[in-house]
Amino acid sequence: VARRNGKPSGKLIVIGGHEDRDSESLILREVVRCADGGKVVVVTVASEEPKALWQEYRNAFAKLGVSGLAHLEVPSREELVRNPPDGILDDASCVFFTGGGQLRITSEFGGTELCDRLRDLYYKGVTVAGTSAGASVMCDTMLVDGAAEESHKIGDSLSMAPGLGFMPDVIIDQHFAERGRIGRLLGAVAHNPRLLGLGIDENTAIVVERLECFTVIGAGAVYVVDGREVTGTNVAKEETERTLTLFDLRLHVLSQGDEFDLRSRRPKSHPAEEVESTLTE
């Protein structure tokens, strides 16, 4: 419990899905950099095709020079509880959650001893990365499902569930611009503007340090939806199928190299040259 009051020493790398794995692999290179050459454990519990996905990531990480690679496959929660793969997290520098379904991650892996162990390691310095579904699960309350390419309807089925809680006080959506998800993220933030909404594009990631700030890397944008100043909404009205009203949102669009301070909720820009020199160090 004490550790929850402290700050994690490990980084979070939260990826909006479809990160490049074949050419420049900018985001995976950052994962490897944060792992500092150490062991990377790929968790495929989200996926229905864990073996194929593991092959893909094994190849991608091997190409980037990672020698210590392990696959945490979770055939079922029962199996994970009965025969926990002891030692798989030993010496891990980074644990990487692949895409698939976020509910598979939380229902199969959440609350297990291995998950508790991972939280401990994260607080002690292990990097936790996740893409797509693996990004959504970082939150305390995660977005599971909701209509895309339409504005949010109040009373409509926006599906949320408890996430792994590695990044509290935010709610994350991925494949953001590509799948037209601004409506559902605004809906989620309207439910409780205490949470900062983060919409992450494909092949784009945030690198979170000590839960204090993050930096954007990758090709797309990260949308930060701050509802603290909202002056009007109808989200709690009991009129199903009525479209959401939401006044006075603050919206920031961040691209590669931009930083965001999670404590003050303020963005900060850096010249592109500076950024690129850091990334290619």
The answer to whether 182 contacts a copy of itself (rule: CB under 8 A) is yes
74 Rama class: left (phi>0) / alpha (psi -120 to 50) / beta? beta
Record the tokens describing residue 237, joined without a space: 């009205």
Q: 3-state DSSP call for residue 22?
A: coil
Out of 175, 191, 202, 259, which one is annotated catalytic? 175
Q: Which of 19, 30, 47, 132 is catalytic?
A: 132
Known catalytic residue at 25: no
Segment 205 to 234, residues that bind a copy of itself, using CB under 8 A: 219-221, 232, 234
Under rule CB under 8 A, residue 193 binds a copy of itself = no
Closest CB to a copy of itself among residues 8, 218: 218
Radius of gyration of the chain (CA): 18
Which residue, 67 or 245, is less far from a copy of itself as judged by CB? 245
237 binds a copy of itself (CB under 8 A): yes
Q: Which of 240, 264, 269, 277 binds a copy of itself (CB under 8 A)?
A: 269
In the list 245, 264, 277, 278, the residue contacting a copy of itself (rule: CB under 8 A) is: 245
Q: How many CB atoms lie within 10 A of CB 149?
A: 10
Question: Quick count: other Cβ atoms within 10 Å of Cβ 60?
Answer: 20
Query: Quick one: tokens of 103?
Result: 């509910």
In the complex, the smallest distance separating the C-beta of residue 219 from a copy of itself, rounded to whole angstroms, is 7
Q: Which listed residue (150, 239, 274, 276) is catalytic?
A: 150
Which stretch in 6-14, 40-48, 133-141, 172-180 sits in contact with a copy of itself by CB under 8 A?
172-180
* 175 included as an active-site residue: yes
- Distance between CA atoms of 193 and 172, rounded to whole angstroms? 13
Instruction: Rounding to the nearest 10 degrees, give the CA dihedral for residues 167, 169, 171, 177.
Output: -90
| Residue 174 lies near a copy of itself (rule: CB under 8 A) | no
* Site track 143-162 with a copy of itself (rule: CB under 8 A), x = hit: ------xxxx----------
Determine whether 259 is an active site residue: no
How many CB atoms within 10 Å of residue 86? 10
State the burial class of residue 279 (Cβ atoms within 10 Å of its Cβ: 0-12, 13-18, 19+): middle
Give the C-alpha distances (Å, rounded to integers) separating 36 from 139, 147, 181, 198.
Answer: 25, 39, 34, 27
Which positions from 27 through 86 interact with a copy of itself, judged by CB under 8 A? none
**At its nearest, how many Å lie between a copy of itself and the CB of residue 132?**
16
CA-closest candidate to residue 32, choices 60, 55, 56: 60
User: What letter does residue 149 receive in the DSSP assignment?
Assistant: S
Residues that are catalytic: 132, 150, 175
**Rule CB under 8 A: which residues touch a copy of itself?**
149-152, 176-180, 182-183, 186, 201, 204, 219-221, 232, 234, 237, 239, 242-256, 258, 267, 269, 272
